[in-house]
Amino acid sequence: MGAARVAKTKKYKPPKVPIRKRLVRYWPLYVMLVPALIYYWLICYVPMGGVVLAFKDYSFKKGIWGSPWIGLQYFRTFFTSYDCGRLIRNTLAVGAIKCILEFPFPIILALLLNEVRNMKFKKISQTITYLPHFLSSVIIVTMLQRLLAPNIGILNQIIANMGGDGSTFYLMDAKYFYRILFGMDLWRGLGWDSIIYLAAISSVDMELYEAAEMDGCGKLKKMWHITLPSIRGTIGLLFIMGVGGILSSGVDQIYLLRTPGNMSLADTLDIYVLRIGLLNGQYGYATAIGLIQGLVGLFMVLVCNKISRKATEVSLW
């Protein structure tokens, strides 16, 4: 019986080093970590104290802590309001465009750039795709206004020269809003978002490609069977983190693209918070809506992380 019994191998556990010794041994690394900790504490965590405004009838005279508590009144007001369904629907549509529809394009660009062997052409291509990221939304929207202007815009002039109607006011027509937003946001972030995928691809073992070439695999097969599986973890982590912002459409782009013609689609939760909070001075109500966005984003990250961990073994934690 003893000979037939399979001995269980114990997993090796490295000895625990006391925190004091780690601090002494790696003190330069901890010193470099201090500025980042201070930044996140002051910018990200200290302002969380203002979340109590979502449960208070705030007044400047009494201050945050002196204002009376009103419980969940702001939340009930929002979910029973006429604008609630429209705002959530518009925000989810914009979030789906940014988090889901645009997600594969940086991966595709990274795969294509990785196959370029002319280093000069590769660097020029990377620079051209990165540059739009450094342009402000004001500049990009101004360019769009010039390109899409009726009669005098470049696009309308091309259509007119081809015998079509060159008087279309694209920014005033709601049916073009999502297309314009998709093209604008993709052009701006495509190159920048591909950087992390290029970094992940650069760490793939070259021997795998050599073995695939010996087996007769072409470029597409090597991409599908080697490159993509090797960066699966990076793709999964970035997708999980991106899903958390599905209710955050972005203020600057949407606010600048809003016109009376596309207001029915461009009025999102972020714009509503800006209008209610800063313009109308309803700080508690705006904080409550922002808290809803944050909680929904946290819930989406937790759900996607759990599903990804079970299905692909890729997760944030």
Tokens 């290029």 belong to: 198
The pLDDT of residue 76 is above 90: yes
How many other C-beta atoms are found inside a 10 Å radius of the C-beta of residue 292?
A: 19
The whole model's pTM is what? Answer: 0.82
Residues in the chain: 317
144, part of any domain: yes
Q: Which domain range does residue 235 map to?
A: 74-312
- Counting residues of the chain whose pLDDT is more than 70, the rounded percentage is 96
In this prediction, residues 49-56 reach a mean pLDDT of 89
Assign residue 124 the CATH number of its domain.
1.10.3720.10
Kindly state whether residues 157 and 21 are assigned to the same domain: no
304, part of any domain: yes
State the alpha helices, DSSP H only, in 98-176.
104-114, 119-130, 137-147, 154-161
Kindly state whether residues 45 and 181 are assigned to the same domain: no
pLDDT tens digits, one per residue of 9-24: 455 566 777 778 888 8
Q: Based on the structure, what is the number of domains in the chain?
A: 2
Kindly state whether residues 147 and 30 are assigned to the same domain: no
Kindly state whether residues 214 and 67 are assigned to the same domain: no
4, part of any domain: no
Residue 128 near residue 113 (C-beta atoms within 8 A) = no
296, part of any domain: yes
Kindly state whether residues 181 and 286 are assigned to the same domain: yes
C-alpha torsion sign, points 84, 140, 178, 239: negative
Under DSSP, the state recorded for 11 is P
Kindly state whether residues 60 and 111 are assigned to the same domain: no
Kindly state whether residues 219 and 263 are assigned to the same domain: yes
Kindly state whether residues 139 and 158 are assigned to the same domain: yes
Kindly state whether residues 31 and 135 are assigned to the same domain: no
Kindly state whether residues 102 and 35 are assigned to the same domain: no
Kindly state whether residues 215 and 288 are assigned to the same domain: yes
pLDDT tens digits, one per residue of 232-242: 888 888 888 88
